[in-house]
Structure 1
């Protein structure tokens, strides 16, 4: 199972509400699109036709929502098979899922944080390996935003690193979630970033959040990216290189040109990271 290397540049989350505008935007406006296969599998008609047209113009990454990698319930192998068909149909170079769980006796419709324990590492890594075997490819897992942890025998970054090593999978690093968690759980975002294993990172996410209080941030995906996220993204490129990056926006969708301004800013930061610093003496 080889690593995904075909994505590059700046991408945008594909939402159904954006479909008419995406179909008419210029080809170079984004470098790739990212969709949740959970929201497209089995969909027909205009939406299916629109997705097929976009997949002909842009590389398509996929970000899953409901595999519940850390959950106690058995994996839904029928759904995993559907995902594999979807990935093959659209020649998807990268599939990612959340490092969390979202189902037990039915779906919980939220991303539930994992306990940071050795047992949870072994359990989750085994399920990730099972999914990778079923899909016939490496997958990436994403660090989630969380507001309370069931139990922490180790730090978030140590748990993340342990799962990546045990599962031998890749990482989709959500920069906004690092900022949110660093504020809410009182750690330094730059220190967390420095401890991320660069060789595992295959994609980045950025999104907006809401500042509820000086010591509480809420991950909303419903606003523009904030300055502290942009600053950490610039630092991430210095640490990781110009990793392909997705702008996520799920709610309060502005006109597409406003989103494309943020996509262009991602590109600007990527270019700046690749440009050697000129020293004056």
Structure 2
């Protein structure tokens, strides 16, 4: 298989969704640079869909963002699944594999990304599981800061918890800028202070997405709308802090015409270029 170039700084990506397959296949060079997918949705897939994935992997770098590793979960890590992921990553020469700093299973999948308590015990628990996953994968793992609406326990704030996990696990961060904004409104903290508090050397990629404005004090992370102006502004600030990291536009449903997604990708490119020039 052709070895795609890994995503590097100043690149933009889009999620590989089956509903977008025809548009992704027909997209000209320059619309996007890499595609992100959940490996559990593609491991073992053959037939026409498998052939389509292989064809896209010949043209674009792939990035993987998992949904079911359950890094903070109470039950043992699914070692067999992690080994399957390793084979998939190596097959497609995927440079970045990320997962959520959350949990999604307890003796069975819960089909949601549930928040962890911000405690020392949780830091040690999730960091140990990240280290275990990294050992099996034979590579560094990036974890993503998640949106949450109920806090099980907070002995420390989110940025302190996140940094503690990153340091103890010695892993990287996939910074979801929309999640920072959504959480800042829902839980009343300064999003710029969050960015300033993150260890800059840990950030290896970014996500940006749309959300739903339930009210002035409640935002719902949906990935089903265009990116809001406040989130674009925060993304620009993130580039100023961490550099123009590879950035994915997340859209999971309520898809507009493809040209509208391309326009948002072009906005990411402009902000990346501005960040590089400013630096």
Q: TM-score range by the shorter chain?
A: over 0.9
2:70 alignment partner in structure 1: 68
1:249 alignment partner in structure 2: 251
Correspondence for 2:85 among 80, 83, 97: 83
Could you tell me how far 1:5 is from its partner in structure 2?
A: 6.7
Conserved? CA contact 1:7–1:59, under 8 Å: no
Question: Secondary structure, in 3 states, of the residue corresponding to 2:45?
Answer: coil
1:161 alignment partner in structure 2: 163
2:266 alignment partner in structure 1: 264
1:7 alignment partner in structure 2: 8
2:237 alignment partner in structure 1: 235
Question: How many residue pairs are counted as aligned between the two chains?
Answer: 274
1:147 alignment partner in structure 2: 149
Conserved? CA contact 2:6–2:61, under 8 Å: no
Length-normalised TM-score, structure 1: 0.96
Query: Aligned pair in 2 of structure 1 residues 37, 151: CA closer, same or farther (>3 Å)?
Result: same
Length-normalised TM-score, structure 2: 0.96
Distance in 2 of aligned mates of 1:7 and 1:18? 24
1:190 alignment partner in structure 2: 192
2:214 alignment partner in structure 1: 212
Q: Say what the alpha-carbon RMSD is for the aligned residues.
A: 1.2
Question: Secondary structure, in 3 states, of the residue corresponding to 1:85?
Answer: helix
Consecutive unaligned residues in structure 2, runs of 5 or more: none
Could you tell me how far 1:140 is from its partner in structure 2?
A: 0.2
Conserved? CA contact 2:7–2:246, under 8 Å: no
Query: Aligned pair in 2 of structure 1 residues 151, 18: CA closer, same or farther (>3 Å)?
Result: same
Conserved? CA contact 1:205–1:245, under 8 Å: yes
Correspondence for 1:40 among 19, 39, 42: 42
Distance in 2 of aligned mates of 1:157 and 1:24? 41
Consecutive unaligned residues in structure 1, runs of 5 or more: none
Conserved? CA contact 2:249–2:265, under 8 Å: yes
Could you tell me how far 1:258 is from its partner in structure 2?
A: 1.0
Could you tell me how far 1:274 is from its partner in structure 2?
A: 1.3
